[in-house]
Amino acid sequence: MAFDIEMIKKVYSNFSSRIEAARKIVGRPLTLSEKILYTHLWDGNAKTAFIRGTDYVDFAPDRVAMQDATAQMALLQFMQAGRPQVAVPSTVHCDHLITAKSGAEIDLPHANTESKEVFDFLASVSNKYGIGFWKPGAGIIHQVVLENYAFPGGMMIGTDSHTVNAGGLGMVAIGVGGADACDVMAGLPWELKFPKLIGVKLTGKLNGWASAKDVILKVAGILTVKGGTGAIVEYFGDGAENLSCTGKGTICNMGAEIGATTSTFGYDKSMERYLRATNRADVADAANNIAEHLTGDAEVYANPENYFDQLIEINLDELEPYLNGPFTPDLATPISQMKAAAEANGWPLKVEWGLIGSCTNSSYEDLSRAASIAKQAIDKGLGIKAEFGINPGSEQVRYTANRDGLLGTFEDLNATIFTNACGPCIGMWDRTGAEKAEKNTIVHSFNRNFAKRADGNPNTFAFVTSPEIVAAIAIAGDLGFNPLTDTLTNNRGEQVKLDPPVGDELPLNGYAVEDAGFQAPAEDGSGVQVLVSPTSHRLQLLDPFPAWEGTDLKGLKLLIKAKGKCTTDHISMAGPWLKFRGHLDNISNNMLIGAVNFFNDKTDDVKNALTGEYGPVPATQRDYKAQGLGSIVVGDENYGEGSSREHAAMEPRHLGVRAVLVKSFARIHETNLKKQGMLALTFADKEDYDKIQEDDIIDIHGLSTFEPNVPLQVDLHHADGSKDIIVVNHSYNAQQIEWFRAGGALNIIRKEAALKAAGL
């Protein structure tokens, strides 16, 4: 039986009436995305037709999911909200704080010792507030959610950008910062700008070496890392119905890499099969009863150009495997062109590591297809020329794959089986030799490949591809190897060719597991004590941020003018810094250390306006804070792309940065800045970015009359006595302006809770 089945049935009971109300208001057939959005309005039935990309709308998500790195800050904030229990079903998943090094048998016990304080905190706070807790080793959050909680037509938010993975089971699942999660867990509406819609029509059927991963790798090449910003990507067509449920999850998962709000598929037989295979026949039965509402209206898919803001068509019959990278997940190269591209660009052809796993590709189907390649290699007398690592997606997947011999096949090919956790995908990889910073190539089935992402080495050229292509290239040890056409020399000196992968959508003998790793919360958590040591270097209770002082901001120092790509990895690195995710002051020592300074092309090296000397970004900002001086960060396009981590907004706020001014923002990061009481501003004229000089003193005018759709003025006082006045835009609505004035959204929640407790 499914978790929260009564909640799911309640959601479904309102579907028909709410969709009918929405159709009448909108006056036309509805896409699946619109159906889910309109059925989850905070106020119930639709009373107005919302304008895509313009209207802010309050929604009522069905559930919240948090991983251990982001859950710390989300729950530290929730503890300040004054609520006795979460208002919606919520879960915590311990998957980020486990370093991959020697293999699961050694790495997991080490993590349980190293991060015991954090795991104990998360377990106790979950127990107190009615939150389901998944222990270390239980699996990667998004695979566990797909196996246990996702349901067609539902709406979920999660404190991880790859929450979107649940679109593989027909959800609208959206990555957010911890403050948003705190709102929903506190029983408040969740605000989102009504998304635009991108339709992707899939025809045909995958064959040969092509996989679901190649669909999103191709889409990423088309849309780029910002092409999906502010939009939901909805997949449809006979090609969509030919994909497995976990394959759909893979496609939705990497929608985060194109900036999409989320991605989703309509309910179909593959989803029903997956629900039944994962012991959720009750959900499948309930979904079947309203199946017509769990996909877009027929008229939409018959004439998609009339219903979507953008339309893409992909014929799966013709789809070729892709490798995307290096250093960005949207640089898409068909495998037939990779050798030439690598040689032309100087990418190292020798592959050092092949890695399979992550929330994107760690299902049973993924492992079975990759294992079929590994078995061929063994049977055909081939060894492996790159090191090989596997991260199963969950304990259920690991146990079942081990029972069916898949893991044994990998081990016969000398692979290391890491813990059921994120590991190298999010920088938790203790890779021997990475500290030498040597130029090298790795291939992996992950989702992101920014510089330093996997191993901390800026010279690791990482390429994203499918698990089966990872296996083939790891066997060949050559980035230019094309298994569709090329042969390899076996141990008998023969030329042999790998056959296309085969695998099982679902385990033929069903899933099995002894201990999935779930810990249910106490029925009554009122007596549970959550203790945080005042001397801890891992956890720190939060103090409220100060409210806006009521005046324009004047005399701001320029902390850094970031050049080029500046992701949340650049603003707040992961890897070894993950251990400080629950201690705001300590983790703030990584603030913007990966951003490139426009004025010297160096990282973590900015001019201190007080001393005239160059030094680390966090230390410079701490100097400003000590003197009571505010500062501003200037950035380029799509600032804050990548992970949902709100630390990238909280660290500048904590250290005294007052505003971030950029050419454009990634959606989640812009929202996170607003939630924390920061000013998130964009150049009205992007060429004004060039007017920012290193020694500028900056004023921001118009805050006393701060209102929606009214630009602000920024004065740039240059060191030579000259001055530039520029116009900057913002996307704040009335409620978000109140967040700014209050010093952050949590301050408003805290005040409301105090008034309620006092009976006022």
Look up 701 and say whether it is catalytic. Answer: no
Each residue of 726-740: pLDDT tens digit? 999 999 999 999 999
Chain-wide mean pLDDT for the chain?
96
Q: Is 688 helix (H, G, I), strand (E, B) or coil?
A: helix
| Residues 305 and 334 both lie in one domain | no
| Residues 290 and 338 both lie in one domain | no
Each residue of 175-202: pLDDT tens digit? 998 889 999 999 999 999 999 999 999 9
* pLDDT given at position 486: 98
* pLDDT given at position 81: 83
pTM of the model: 0.90
Each residue of 17-30: pLDDT tens digit? 999 999 999 999 99
Which of the following is catalytic: 18, 63, 93, 96? 96
* pLDDT given at position 753: 73
In a domain, 545, yes or no: no
Helices (H), 572-646: 584-587, 617-626
| Residues 305 and 270 both lie in one domain | yes
How many angstroms separate the CA atoms of 567 and 640, rounded? 4
Q: For residue 190, give the CATH number of its domain.
A: 3.30.499.10
Each residue of 168-182: pLDDT tens digit? 999 999 999 888 999
Region 232-253: what's the mean pLDDT? 98
| Residues 248 and 349 both lie in one domain | no
| Residues 658 and 627 both lie in one domain | yes
Each residue of 293-338: pLDDT tens digit? 999 999 999 999 999 999 999 999 999 999 999 999 999 999 999 9
C-alpha angle with apex 228: 222 to 232, nearest 5 degrees?
125
Each residue of 92-103: pLDDT tens digit? 999 999 999 999
Helices (H), 353-478: 364-379, 395-403, 406-412, 467-476
Each residue of 671-691: pLDDT tens digit? 999 999 999 999 999 999 999
In a domain, 15, yes or no: yes
- Could you check whether the bond before residue 458 is cis, i.e. omega within 30 degrees of 0? no
DSSP character for 289? H
Strand order of the β-sheet with 196-203 is 262-265, 231-236, 196-203, 310-315
| Residues 338 and 390 both lie in one domain | yes
Kind and range of the H or E run holding 727: strand 723-729
Each residue of 203-214: pLDDT tens digit? 999 999 999 999
Judged against a pLDDT cut of 70, whether residue 105 lies above it is answered with yes
pLDDT band at 155 (very low <50, low <70, confident <90, very high): very high
Closest CA to 347 of 440, 448, 447: 440
Look up 160 and say whether it is catalytic. Answer: yes
Which of the following is catalytic: 62, 68, 95, 107? 95
Closest CA to 579 of 76, 98, 77, 79: 98
DSSP character for 684? S
Which of the following is catalytic: 4, 160, 268, 478? 160
Phi and psi dihedrals of 126, rounded to 5?
-65, -45
| Residues 181 and 328 both lie in one domain | no
Q: CA 308 → CA 52, 53, 188, 236, 337, distances in Å?
A: 10, 13, 30, 12, 32
* pLDDT given at position 452: 92
| Residues 308 and 341 both lie in one domain | no
Neighbours of 616 (CB within 10 A): 18
Q: For residue 689, give the CATH number of its domain.
A: 3.20.19.10
In a domain, 689, yes or no: yes
Give the residue carrying structure tokens 């299902």: 363
* pLDDT given at position 760: 66
Look up 448 and say whether it is catalytic. Answer: yes
* pLDDT given at position 755: 74
pLDDT band at 644 (very low <50, low <70, confident <90, very high): confident
> In the chain, what percentage of residues exceed pLDDT 90?
93
Q: Is 163 helix (H, G, I), strand (E, B) or coil?
A: helix
Q: What sign has the CA pseudo-torsion 260, 262, 265, 266?
A: negative
Look up 95 and say whether it is catalytic. Answer: yes
| Residues 60 and 187 both lie in one domain | yes
| Residues 90 and 222 both lie in one domain | yes
Region 616-640: what's the mean pLDDT? 97
In a domain, 503, yes or no: no
Q: CA 153 → CA 49, 196, 291, 625, 695, distances in Å?
A: 20, 18, 10, 47, 53
Sorted by sequence, the CB contacts under 8 Å of residue 83 that are 6+ apart come out as 129, 185, 186, 187, 753
How many angstroms separate the CA atoms of 123 and 617, rounded? 35
In a domain, 433, yes or no: no
What is the number of structural domains in the chain?
Answer: 3
Q: Give the domain extent around 470.
A: 322-426+438-496
Kind and range of the H or E run holding 236: strand 231-236
Sorted by sequence, the CB contacts under 8 Å of residue 208 that are 6+ apart come out as 484, 500
Reading the block at residue 208, the tokens are: 């040969």
How many angstroms separate the CA atoms of 145 and 155, rounded? 13
Look up 16 and say whether it is catalytic. Answer: no
How many angstroms separate the CA atoms of 697 and 221, rounded? 40
Look up 645 and say whether it is catalytic. Answer: yes
Q: From 285, 315, 345, give the residue that closes a domain.
A: 315
Phi and psi dihedrals of 194, rounded to 5?
-55, 120
| Residues 197 and 284 both lie in one domain | yes
DSSP of 222-275, one letter per residue?
HHTTTTTBTEEEEEESHHHHTS-HHHHHHHHHGGGGGTBSEEEE---HHHHHHH
Closest CA to 236 of 294, 183, 162, 161: 294
* pLDDT given at position 237: 98
Which of the following is catalytic: 293, 448, 647, 653? 448
Which of the following is catalytic: 645, 647, 667, 750? 645
Reading the block at residue 130, the tokens are: 């009615």
Q: From 249, 280, 315, give the residue that closes a domain.
A: 315
How many angstroms separate the CA atoms of 713 and 278, rounded? 56
Sorted by sequence, the CB contacts under 8 Å of residue 427 that are 6+ apart come out as 452, 453, 454, 455, 456, 573, 574, 575, 576, 578
Region 415-437: what's the mean pLDDT? 96
| Residues 629 and 686 both lie in one domain | yes
In a domain, 511, yes or no: no
Neighbours of 433 (CB within 10 A): 11
C-alpha angle with apex 442: 497 to 473, nearest 5 degrees?
5
Q: Is 100 helix (H, G, I), strand (E, B) or coil?
A: strand
Closest CA to 354 of 432, 465, 439, 257: 465
In a domain, 595, yes or no: yes
Which of the following is catalytic: 643, 658, 688, 696? 643
Q: Is 411 helix (H, G, I), strand (E, B) or coil?
A: helix
* pLDDT given at position 757: 67
pLDDT band at 575 (very low <50, low <70, confident <90, very high): confident
In a domain, 539, yes or no: no
Q: From 296, 315, 334, give the residue that closes a domain.
A: 315
How many angstroms separate the CA atoms of 233 and 261, rounded? 8
